[in-house]
Structure 1
Amino acid sequence: MTSASSETLHVAQAAFQDFSHGLATGDWSRFLAYLSDDFTFWFPAGPFKGLNSGKARAEAFFATVSKIFPEGLTLTLERTFNSGNTVLFEVRSEGLMLGHPYENQAAISFDVAGDKICGYREYLGVIFQIGG
């Protein structure tokens, strides 16, 4: 595995902090500011299953996440891996999903281009439906 440059790692770690803030508070503005114009993301379930493109689609996705976790979701970072322009964060999450206790383990991957996040992928330990 090749190492990401220190700049790539710095951008990904800063964006991850703002991603975590979005999950905890529902305020995604800081994370969304990191997204490139050609941003794509992949999610494993629900109406966002598969490959999605564009900032508007990302905004809709993260707004839906905040509706499902209205009291916020807490991430605990377990490990960070990197290769080239990709940085992967292995996390544990917990909170209330639509009022029910929720715990999961996930891998969240950011692709970095310059000072922007151009790609996001999430791999969940437990699959659930988002938005029906």
Structure 2
Amino acid sequence: MRRWAYGAADGDWSGLLQMLDPDVTFHVPVAEFAGVRHGAAEAARFFGHLSPTLRAQLDVTGTLADGDRVAFEVSVRGSWHGQPLTQALCLVFVVDGHRIREFREYLAWPGGLENAG
């Protein structure tokens, strides 16, 4: 989770990408990547898409674990395409040792919320 947070903060996702299984399966709620995707190269393409547009601080508010699955409830504050972003999400990872075999992202507020002031 720390490596995901580092990537969101500075746009350098290389630490997270190093943890991905070459055959990783993932689903994220981003229009350009709708549906289930496969492979570390496709994940690198996704995170490359985020690099220039997302800057955010992620704070873990809860952690859930069940065998090889770990979920993190996260609050997000930052910017997306230069606009303020505040949202909550849940990131679910399926791990095998130190490799991420699968990840999924669920947004509590798709598209974020407008800044309340």
TM-score computed with the length of structure 1 as normaliser: 0.80
What is the alpha-carbon root mean square deviation over aligned residues?
1.0
Which structure has more RCO (C-alpha within 8 Å, separation ≥ 6)? 1
Q: Percent identity?
A: 34
**2:43 is matched with which residue?**
58
Structure with bigger strand share is 2
How many residue pairs get aligned? The number is 111
Structure 2 residue identity aligned to 1:53? H
Q: Partner letter of residue 48 of structure 1?
A: F
Alignment match of 2:28 (pick from 40, 43, 67): 43
Q: Distance in 1 between matches of 2:62 and 2:32?
A: 29
* TM-score for the superposition, normalised by structure 2: 0.90
Q: How does 1:1-132 map to 2 (within 5 A)?
A: 16-69=1-54, 72-128=55-111
Q: Which amino acid aligns with 1:19?
A: W
| Structure 1 spans left out of the alignment, 5+ residues | 1-15
C-alpha separation in 1, matches of 2:80 and 2:3? 20
Runs of 4+ in 1 over 2 A off after TM superposition: none
Please say if residues 45 and 127 of structure 1, whose CA atoms lie closer than 8 Å, have aligned partners that are also in contact: no
CA distance in 1, matches of 2:109, 2:81: 16
More helix by share: 1
Extract unaligned runs of 5+ from structure 2.
112-117
